[in-house]
A and B are shown apart, each in its own frame.
Chain A
Amino acid sequence: MTGLRVTLGVLGAAGLVAGLLIDRPTVLFPLLALGIVAFVVAAGCLAGDLLPLRPVYAVTSGLALIDAVLMAVAGQASRPLALVAALALVLLSAGPRLIRPGR
């Protein structure tokens, strides 16, 4: 599932860049679109990590699934929250590698 996880990281990074460079309310739409795509990709990641079960990967994928929703809608509430959500998506996509390098 490396390809999906990398995609997730790229989506998070794109959200982070968009959140930093684009003002509200223009940024709301890209964040929403990136969050929706990330949600679908994270669902794929989660399924892949459950079959066979890889606990650390599955937990990060599950968190990424929730975080994708957060990134999609957080911009409505505040820009910092959206940035945090995007950053969290990057970290969650890279997390398993950081925790258990080589897998």
Chain B
Amino acid sequence: MAVRTPLERRLRWAVVGLAMFCAVLVLLIAAVLVYWRLYLLSPSAEPFSRGPFVIRLGPTSAQLAWTLPGDRRVELVATAPDGTTATAANGRFTGLEPDVRYLWTASVGSVGRAAGSFHTAPTDPRAPVTFAAIGDYGSGTDHEWAVGRTLASEQPDFVVTAGDNSYLVGAPVLLDRNIFRPLHDVMLEAPLYATMGEHDLFYSNGAAVADALHLPNDAGRYVVDYGAVQVVLLGLDDGPAEVAFARRVLARPGPRVRFVVLHRPVQPGDAILPLLRRYHVAAVIAGHLHRYERRVVGGIPEFVVGTGGEGPGAAEFTKRSPDAIVSLLNFGSLRVTVTATGVRYQFIDERGRVLDHYSTR
């Protein structure tokens, strides 16, 4: 059928023009889709639901842990500054060099999905060691996140916590919000050695927190050795069982500089004090009181660092200790640096300011 009339011809050209316009539209839509696919899409979702995070560090070994839904394989590679690499088996690196910062990468399905670094413990007792301490932090607040950021920027060799790792209770469903997300960055670099506070013990006697952080026991009573430093974590307080444990551990020959960490601060007259003096414990680190305090109790320096994020709460429960040399309501963490010549303590607030410093030889 041929086109004959002028009206039919015009109609035909109109259809042709419309078709070409539609083609242009199709191309535009295709271009937008291609651009969106190539340059505007976010990376695919993180495969890990938790971690990976460093849980143990020794002179020649390191252990990482993670939670990965499904049955996918994780390849962990650690690289030393000289370029030598080590591959982990079941999250554990062995045969590492002491006192070296290794960069690690975790790959899932041949794609690097997480990376961090860790510093293996030195074997030289004169080598410096830096660790950080926080307590009463696990609340998921802006302040906890801020403290987590400053902790990560300090690059401590490890972090100790003085309990109350999760508010109001240490239930599994709360731990990502209260521990693993706010402290994600620092946990890529340093193991978190936690002891237990009341809030952790309310739920399953601390089992949930201990399992999640891969602690040796639910009470948070264990020992960490790292280079010249030994940290004796006691748990909730300095009751008879804790004192017996401390006596047993401190009586053994150990690293040069020792710290005791527990949740409730040691008070004048406590039964543990003669023990701490006898074994020349450098300092006690505690939490519970939501303040930063520097005290000397029975001749032993004591740092209260209940400043990790939960906040001071009601004034009657957050009173300054009468014997406190320094007492602050700021959020922050304690940075402890052990060198061949002494120990330096710095309280660093959530804004990165050093609000207190103290040194011993």
Contact = CB atoms under 8 A, between A and B. Distances in A.
B20 A52 contact: no
A1 interface: yes
Nearest to B2: A52
A31 to B, nearest CB: 15
A40 B12 CA distance: 16
A48 B27 contact: no
A38 B168 CA distance: 67
B23 A39 contact: yes
Interface in A7-54: 36, 39-48, 50-53
B1 A44 contact: no
A4 interface: yes
Interface in B20-67: 20, 22-24, 27
A45 B24 CA distance: 14
A40 B18 CA distance: 10
A47 B3 contact: no
Contact of A51 (B15, B17, B20, B27): B15
Given A42-B23, A47-B18, 14 more contacts: A39-B27, A40-B20, A40-B23, A43-B20, A43-B23, A44-B17, A44-B19, A47-B15, A47-B19, A48-B19, A51-B11, A51-B12, A52-B3, A53-B1
Nearest to B24: A40
Interface string A50-67: 111100000000000000
Contact of B27 (A1, A4, A40): A40
A36 B27 contact: yes
12 contacts: A36-B27, A39-B27, A40-B20, A44-B16, A46-B19, A47-B15, A47-B18, A48-B15, A48-B19, A51-B12, A52-B3, A53-B1
Contacts of B22: 43
Contacts of B19: 43-44, 46-48
Contacts of A46: 19
Interface of A: 1, 4, 36, 39-48, 50-53
Residue among B1, B3, B12, B23 with the highest chain A CB neighbour number at 10 A: B23
A11 B142 CA distance: 62
Contact of A1 (B1, B2, B16, B18): B16
A42 B27 CA distance: 13
A44 B26 CA distance: 13
Contacts of A53: 1
A48 B16 contact: yes
A45 B23 CA distance: 11
Nearest to B31: A36
A15 to B, nearest CB: 17
Contacts of B27: 36, 39-40
Nearest to A46: B19
Nearest to B27: A36
B20 A44 contact: yes
A52 B23 CA distance: 20
Nearest to A35: B27
Closest 7 CB pairs of A and B: A47-B19, A43-B23, A44-B20, A52-B1, A44-B16, A40-B23, A43-B19
Contacts of B12: 48, 51
Contacts of A43: 19-20, 22-23
A51 B8 CA distance: 9
Contacts of B15: 47-48, 50-51
B16 A47 contact: yes
Nearest to A40: B23
Nearest to A36: B27
B134 to A, nearest CB: 54
Given A36-B27, A47-B15, A51-B12, A41 B3 contact: no
A34 B192 CA distance: 61
A43 to B, nearest CB: 3
A72 to B, nearest CB: 9
A55 to B, nearest CB: 12
A44 B12 CA distance: 10
A39 B26 CA distance: 10
A42 B2 CA distance: 20
Contacts of B18: 47
A50 B16 CA distance: 10
A41 B20 contact: yes
